[in-house]
Chains A and B, each alone.
Chain A
Amino acid sequence: MATLARSIDTPAISIQDVGKQFVTSSGESVQALAGVNLEIGAGEFLSILGPSGCGKSTLLRIIDGLIEADTGSVTIAGEPVRGPGPDRAMVFQNFALLPWLSVVENIMFPLEVRRIPKDRRRELAEQALATVGLSAFAKHYPRTLSGGMQQRVGLARALAVEPAILLMDEPFGALDALTRATLQDELLTVWSRDRKTAVFVTHAIDEAVYLSDRVAVMSAHPGQVMEVVEIPLDRNREASIRDEPEFAEIVTNLRHMLHSPGVGTPR
């Protein structure tokens, strides 16, 4: 009934035995991640689902190269990650738009960093803006846009650099439920066009199920991948799929998994 996970035999991202420790300001050391193993296939949409504090955002930043792992390794298409690279682009939870640049300038910013000629920059930025349906707002400044629109700009900025891998850190976490649902559908539409490898961090179970081919469920203290669950739903998803009993069943299963002992955040 479903076209199952993309070919894992050609992993785009391979995470092996990754561990990371942080020292808090009070001198306490916290094991954010321990022995994380995960293979993400090329063209796959994988969500990392877990309670807050389980290190899922840290894991995403290690994949992006913003944070270095203490132990283990991350390789992308066989190459070890040594820092941020042009093959990856990130969408941030609080949008991270530069408030002093207009919408189109914000999207052009990473292209400027990459020394793409100015005409081409504008062209790519306008294309990306059209993709998220914000062409009319090119000259607006971020503060005049709603949260949903700001995150569309954040998504357009990531798409404009034409990355092979799209990394998203709770991108809809700061949005209201209605806007979130709309943006989930828009994300699926955009993703379906060229099926980039997508890694999506979230703590919302239904969001992970709705979007993903597979969901990696994480537990906290220390952050570990407990289980990787395939989502056996048809890949052509519409909002109505949420009403299917199968959808509810998967969500329930994942919820039980998250609430099993050792997963929550006993502090």
Chain B
Amino acid sequence: MNLTAANGIREDAALTGAARRGWLVRSARWIYRRAPILITMIPLLALWEILGRMHLFLVLPPLSDVLVAMWDIVTSGRLGDAVPDTLLAIAIGLAISLIAGIACGIALGMSPLLEEVFGPYVDVMMSSPVSAIVPALVLVFGTGRESIVVTVVLFTFFLIVVNTQAGVKQLDPALREMALSFQCSGWVMLRRVIIPGALPLILAGARMGVGRSFNGAVFGEMLISIVGLGGLLMTFGSRFMFDRLDALIILIVGTAVLIVWIFELVERRLLRNR
């Protein structure tokens, strides 16, 4: 505990120091810290280009072709319809998963009876191949956006439930006892003790959920309605336009990583005092 405290202080000091020196120094520092991955990435990208030029695999066009295709996709306006479609499905699905998942996770974490009754279902759903159910969703929700949203929910809900539940359960019982001793109960207990105590794992669940929600949305679009980014992937794939396919995959992954990264920043800000 003392160790982490000391690290925290040192980190804070480093941060304020860097802030004073302006963004140029900060970006230099960022590059310096990322140097290992940046350096190792270069030969990998080179290998991609070389293998691509050797035309060994159909799915692996040269990197330069992929980059050109990426420019094409972005500038041609083809993303104009697809991106809002997909992002909206992700936003709605993720919002549903977060609200319902955190609520269910808290309930399961606090009630041994509920955990006993519903815990096994959550475990089953966590490890079941959700993708297998996705085509069947059409029968219930049709081929519209609803099905995509439900896919996103299926991909993320249980992950968030499990994380929230774990967060509630790892809360130091001494803190709950302290609160009880001061006659804290009900809503105040939930808002001031349980939720803040579970917050680190709730946020971790949300962050992982973001990654999975992209997966879910694209997968749903590919299988169900051939719209959005998933639909675009299907189109490129079925026409063997692998340079465009790869370019689009990189764009999707990049967006997901960017959003996960934003969540990480929020997470760090919310937990900075612990």
Contact = CB atoms under 8 A, between A and B. Distances in A.
Given A84-B183, A109-B184, A143-B4, 17 more contacts: A66-B180, A89-B181, A92-B177, A94-B174, A96-B172, A96-B178, A98-B175, A98-B197, A99-B273, A102-B273, A110-B183, A113-B182, A141-B274, A143-B8, A143-B273, A143-B274, A144-B9
B190 to A, nearest CB: 13
A100 B181 contact: no
25 contacts: A66-B181, A84-B180, A84-B183, A86-B183, A90-B178, A90-B181, A92-B174, A92-B178, A96-B172, A96-B174, A96-B175, A96-B177, A96-B178, A98-B197, A109-B184, A110-B183, A112-B188, A113-B183, A113-B184, A114-B183, A141-B273, A141-B274, A143-B8, A143-B273, A144-B9
A89 B182 contact: yes
Kindly list the 9 A-B residue pairs having the minimum CB-CB distance in the complex, ordered from nearest.
A96-B178, A110-B182, A141-B273, A113-B184, A100-B196, A90-B181, A96-B174, A84-B183, A99-B274
Contacts of A86: 183
A102 B8 CA distance: 16
B196 A84 contact: no
Contacts of B175: 96, 98
A85 interface: yes
Interface in A73-106: 83-86, 88-90, 92, 94, 96, 98-100, 102
Given A66-B177, A143-B8, A144-B5, A100 B273 contact: yes
A159 interface: no
Interface residues of A, number: 25
A249 B210 CA distance: 68
Interface in B149-180: 172, 174-175, 177-180
B5 A98 contact: no
A113 B1 CA distance: 29
A109 B182 contact: yes
B199 interface: yes
A109 B177 CA distance: 14
Interface of A: 64, 66, 83-86, 88-90, 92, 94, 96, 98-100, 102, 109-110, 112-114, 141, 143-144, 161
A202 to B, nearest CB: 18
A143 B177 contact: no
Contacts of A88: 181
B192 interface: yes
B125 interface: no
Nearest to A65: B181
B193 interface: yes
Interface residues of B, number: 24
Q: Choose among B9, B182, B193 the residue with the greatest number of A CB atoms under 10 Å from its CB.
A: B182
B274 A100 contact: yes
A165 to B, nearest CB: 12
A100 B177 contact: no
B8 A113 contact: no
A98 B273 contact: no
Interface string B1-38: 10011001100000000000000000000000000000
B167 to A, nearest CB: 13
A109 B188 CA distance: 10
A110 B180 CA distance: 10
Contacts of B193: 98
B182 A64 contact: no
A60 to B, nearest CB: 10
A94 B193 CA distance: 17
A113 B189 CA distance: 9
B269 to A, nearest CB: 13
A124 B180 CA distance: 21
B181 A109 contact: no
A143 B178 contact: no
A109 to B, nearest CB: 7
Q: Choose among B5, B193, B197, B199 the residue with the greatest number of A CB atoms under 10 Å from its CB.
A: B5
Given A96-B174, A112-B188, A113-B188, A84 B5 contact: no
A99 B254 CA distance: 35
Contacts of B197: 98, 100
A117 B26 CA distance: 45
Given A98-B193, A100-B273, A143 B182 contact: no
Contacts of A92: 174, 177-178
Contacts of A98: 175, 192-193, 196-197
Contacts of B177: 66, 92, 96
Contact of A112 (B4, B5, B192, B196): B192
